[in-house]
Chain A
Amino acid sequence: MNTEERVVGIAQMAICHAPSKLSCLGLGSCVAVILCDPGLRLGGMVHVLLPSAPNPCAIEEKYADTGTRKLFKEMLVNGAKKERMWAKLVGGAQMFANMNLYVMDIGKQNALVVRKVLRELGVKIIAEDVEGSRGRSAYFDPATGKILVLTAFAPPRTI
């Protein structure tokens, strides 16, 4: 596979082998779910917008529940082993806290649903950079399993 850096947009999913990399830019209340099989240096990322999918649902990648499941399945299809797989979460901020009255905290809901689904699937979450009030961009390197998290006005973090 060629080396490439793929940007995963809202309601999109991507899987790649090292040395390719994946990123999500400008995550607000959206959550990036990152799954990795370090044995294969295989990584997957889905950029979900809303907590729960309606039924029927046209775009599974848009929702935390269906998107996480789809990513998990896709990892297995690509040869990942469930026992080796871990997950990391980035995003889920509350961008407009004062609009709370009529916009519920979608970011928090997204993160909750992702955690619940991962628990059902038996995938361990080993790191999170979630919630708060700041937007994030996440750059994931399956070669090392590290995620670089950038925010607007803070030093970069690695999880």
Chain B
Amino acid sequence: MADEHAGRVLETIKEFANIGAGHAATALSALLNVELMNDVTSCSILPMAKVSEWLGGPNQVVAGSYTQLCGDLRSGILVVLPQDSAKTLLEHLTKETIELSSLNGIQKSALKEVGNICLCWYLIAVSKMIDIDMIPTPPDATVDLLGAVLDIPLATLGARVDTVIAVHTCFKAVDRDFDGYFLMLPEESTLKLILDRMGEPH
């Protein structure tokens, strides 16, 4: 019984997260002016401590955009793009050759904007679904070691968050693929509220 219940809760959260990621893909295809399909390859509910392992180890270089919700819901949201996905995406967007090690002002800004658009459309989709407004703070982006990128969410939310809703999605365009990871780090009360609104007793 307990397993069955846990399975249902996971399904509910998956649906929630998939719809968010789907909207982000639609927004990205508009931004990039290419047709993007996204198939959600996996959604996991992880404890905070397992996140860097799930993403492939703390020592790899990634692009990360982070924002927090202010308002009724309390959560951190992090979009992580692996190094080559970030590079391909930015190259397509700016029509320039990108060196992630030395992004110029406009390229950095483009990276932030990609993160911003992904984050906001994810939030708009899920907030419509549960009919609660989600107000994000302006996001910031960086390219660095994954472990270091995860430090801020861990440090600012670590005491109150233990569950991470992690979605790995692959955006497929005709001639290229991008991998993206959406991590939602809700506080306990927010996670309960989300499940409530999704009609799932917890």
Contact = CB atoms under 8 A, between A and B. Distances in A.
B138 interface: yes
A71 interface: no
A137 B59 contact: yes
Nearest to B83: A152
B49 A98 contact: no
A11 B151 CA distance: 12
Contacts of A95: 142, 144, 148-149, 151-152
Interface string A94-130: 0111110111001000000000000000000000000
B151 A30 contact: yes
A50 B145 contact: no
A157 B64 CA distance: 25
Given A95-B142, A134-B144, A153-B100, A103 B156 contact: yes
B145 A137 contact: yes
A10 B58 CA distance: 11
Interface string B131-149: 0000001101011111111
Interface stretch (A21-29, A33-41, A73-81, A140-148): A21-29
Contact of A26 (B138, B142, B146): B146
A52 to B, nearest CB: 12
A10 B49 contact: yes
State the majority secondary structure of interface residues on A.
Answer: loop
Interface residues of B, number: 31
B136 to A, nearest CB: 11
A43 interface: no
A54 to B, nearest CB: 8
A148 to B, nearest CB: 13
Greatest chain B CB density within 10 A among A9, A49, A96 is at A96
B102 interface: yes
A147 to B, nearest CB: 16
Nearest to B61: A152
A93 interface: yes
B66 interface: yes
Contacts of B127: none
Contact of B143 (A30, A54, A152): A152
Interface in B47-81: 49, 52, 57-59, 61, 66, 68, 70
Interface of B: 49, 52, 57-59, 61, 66, 68, 70, 100-102, 137-138, 140, 142-152, 154-156, 158-159
Interface of A: 9-10, 25-30, 49-50, 54, 62, 93, 95-99, 101-103, 106, 133-137, 151-153
6 contacts: A98-B140, A99-B66, A106-B152, A136-B145, A152-B143, A153-B102
